[in-house]
Amino acid sequence: MRFSTNAARLVLLFGWLGIGLSFPTFGPGLADDKGDEPKKGQNIITRDVCVIGGGASGTYAATRLRELGHSVVLVEREDHLGGHTRTYFDPAGRPIDYGVWVYSNNTDQVRFFEHFNIATTGQDFTRISQGSQRIDLRTGQSVPPPVGSLVDAMTRYTQVLLQHPYLADGWELPGPVPEDLLLPFRDFIVRYDLGPAVEVLTLYIQGLGDILDYPAVYIMKYFSFGVILGIQSGFTTSASLANIRLYEAAQTELGADALLSSTIIAAQRTDEGHNMLVSTPDGIRLIRADKLIIAIPPLLQNLEPFDLDYRESDLFAQFDYSHYYTTVLNLSGVPQDVQILNRAVDTPYNIPVLPSTYVFYPSQIPALFSGFFGGGTQNLTEEEVRAIIRDNVRQLRNAGYDVSDDPEILAYGNHSPFNLFVSSEAIATGFYRDLYSLQGQRRTWYTGAAWHAHDSAALWQFTERLLQRVIAD
């Protein structure tokens, strides 16, 4: 086993804190302002399981494990739980969800909301009764709708998707990996004559970057059979129209077991258990946990403190990722019964050129819209994203809308790194097989979108199955 820079730093930090790896002792480095040393063990958190990350997967894992009788500590770098879930409240207290918007339907989604006594409802799409206005937001030019039968194209897509039911459960692909899954999406479209459906497919899988170059399996993972069922029978959302309430309730339930605004700075993972130093607003503390669940994007820059071995480092280094941003903005010159779709006049299937806005969607509050923005593989600053969105809005003047030259952006969310992906070649040679083989190694398990898909309900289902393995080990 390599003795990494992290391992060396861990030893130094433990030494600085005066914490022995087997029996904790404290030296004067932990003395309080009065010069008194803390009582032995008061800066040590001992739990059955430590969960890293308080997004959809991590929050579900922590609350569910507690429900099943296991002690838990959750470490989250933000000052709140919820991950990609963002809710804006206007001055009157009315909410707009501008991150996670709707949920596909399964038993774990129903149970999770019921656990916190949060009522749900079907998503109301009647606000766009006049449909979509397709506009090239580079120029304001109107773009015609797709040609051909959407129903027939979606039927063909669904028939292909049903040939690969394992995609609904994760990334346990058969060997050899079927050719259809490895095709660039542009070739997959041609093979199955999906041109009329590309607009709908891309509308529901925003944030993936230059979508035509992705292996088709990523589109099939994101536009899943669960999404198809949601389109047909309705998606679910919170009855309050504020999805953040779910995570506020979870945060209240977890209480002191949720370490917010906190990060792991060094870790020692072994087959017997884990020692982790965590930086919290109250100072550095030691977490001792029998098992570890990592629910953050498995990128080297995120997992560097966790003393990765060569195999883990090699796999995580292969991931690339896209950038995705969301906003709430005032578009008082745009009717509340339409959505503005960004479509390009000069690209295959009128796919918008990134970085740019995907769609402006009307909220239940007059004049306020959610704006969803794709950065592709470009890591943009907030100022750059805001500038491009404002320019996109200004182009609506050329389309006949009386919008402001300086539209007000009321809320902003950066969801990067968003979709983690690898090449078709890596998938074909067993990347996901090797990735999944890490589950349980060194008493560490993983969950989150990179291990399944960007679908909260699907991730809760995936995490529920994973927890059964964690508990059984």
Cα distance between residue 277 and residue 467, in whole Å:
24
Pairing of strands 368-376, 273-280: unpaired
**What confidence score (pLDDT) does residue 124 get?**
72
Is residue 37 domain-shared with residue 69, that is, in the same domain?
Answer: yes
- Return the C-alpha torsion angle 76, 289, 254, 303, nearest 10: 20
Residue where one domain finishes, among candidates 416, 441, 457:
416
Is residue 177 domain-shared with residue 274, that is, in the same domain?
Answer: no
Q: Is the pLDDT of residue 3 over 90?
A: no
Note the pLDDT tens digit of each residue in 320-345.
999 999 999 999 999 999 999 999 99
**What confidence score (pLDDT) does residue 210 get?**
87
Is residue 305 domain-shared with residue 447, that is, in the same domain?
Answer: yes
3-state secondary structure of 66: helix
Region 112-118 average pLDDT: 97
3-state secondary structure of 243: coil
Is residue 147 domain-shared with residue 55, that is, in the same domain?
Answer: no
CA angle 199, 205, 206 (to 5 degrees): 90
Query: At residue 167, what is the residue type?
Result: L
Q: What DSSP line would sit under 253-290, residue for residue?
A: HHGGGEE-S-EEEEEEEETTEEEEEEEETTEEEEEEEE
Positive or negative, the CA dihedral 100, 103, 106, 110 is positive
Residue where one domain finishes, among candidates 394, 416, 438:
416
**Could you tell me what percent of the chain has a pLDDT over 90?**
85
Residue 288 lies in a domain: yes
**What confidence score (pLDDT) does residue 123 get?**
84
- In angstroms, what CA-CA distances link 464 with 109, 111, 169, 460, 461? 11, 11, 11, 6, 5
Query: Alpha-carbon Rg of the chain, whole angstroms?
Result: 24
**What confidence score (pLDDT) does residue 209 get?**
84
**What confidence score (pLDDT) does residue 40 get?**
47
Mean predicted lDDT score pLDDT of the chain: 90
Note the pLDDT tens digit of each residue in 383-408.
999 999 999 999 999 999 999 999 99
Is residue 191 domain-shared with residue 211, that is, in the same domain?
Answer: yes
Note the pLDDT tens digit of each residue in 151-161.
999 999 999 99
Cα distance between residue 39 and residue 17, in whole Å:
13
Residue 431 lies in a domain: yes
Total H helices, total E strands in the chain = 16, 20
- In angstroms, what CA-CA distances link 54 with 80, 234, 252, 464? 8, 27, 13, 16
Distance of CA 2 to the CA centre of its chain: 32
Is residue 349 domain-shared with residue 222, that is, in the same domain?
Answer: yes
Is residue 153 domain-shared with residue 35, that is, in the same domain?
Answer: no
Tell me the backbone φ, ψ of residue 231, rounded to 5 degrees.
-65, -40
Residue 290 lies in a domain: yes
Query: At residue 271, what is the residue type?
Result: D
Contact indicator for 442, 269 with CB cutoff of 8 Å? yes
Q: Is the pLDDT of residue 363 over 90?
A: yes
Residue 104 lies in a domain: no
Is residue 312 domain-shared with residue 327, that is, in the same domain?
Answer: no
User: With bands split at pLDDT 50, 70 and 90, how would you rate the model's confidence at 31?
Assistant: very low
**What confidence score (pLDDT) does residue 129 get?**
66
Is residue 165 domain-shared with residue 181, that is, in the same domain?
Answer: yes
Contact indicator for 128, 339 with CB cutoff of 8 Å? yes
Among left, alpha and beta (phi > 0; psi -120 to 50; other), residue 433 is alpha
For the chain, the domain total comes to: 2
Structural domain boundaries enclosing 442: 5-84+246-318+424-472
Q: Is the pLDDT of residue 37 over 90?
A: no
Is residue 292 domain-shared with residue 370, that is, in the same domain?
Answer: no
Cα distance between residue 457 and residue 246, in whole Å:
13
Residue where one domain finishes, among candidates 395, 416, 437:
416
Distance of CA 175 to the CA centre of its chain: 28
Contact indicator for 289, 276 with CB cutoff of 8 Å? yes
Distance of CA 437 to the CA centre of its chain: 22
Note the pLDDT tens digit of each residue in 239-270.
999 999 999 999 999 999 999 999 999 999 99
Tokens of 390: 């404002």
Note the pLDDT tens digit of each residue in 262-320.
999 999 999 999 999 999 999 999 999 999 999 999 999 999 999 999 999 999 999 99
Q: What is the widest separation between alpha-carbon atoms in the chain? A: 77
Region 349-370 average pLDDT: 96
Q: Is the pLDDT of residue 42 over 80?
A: no
User: With bands split at pLDDT 50, 70 and 90, how would you rate the model's confidence at 9?
Assistant: very low
Residue 99 lies in a domain: no
What is the CATH number for 280? 3.50.50.60
Is residue 442 domain-shared with residue 327, that is, in the same domain?
Answer: no
Residue 109 lies in a domain: no
Residue 241 lies in a domain: no
Q: Is the pLDDT of residue 32 over 80?
A: no
Residue 70 lies in a domain: yes
Is residue 278 domain-shared with residue 368, that is, in the same domain?
Answer: no
What is the CATH number for 365? 3.90.660
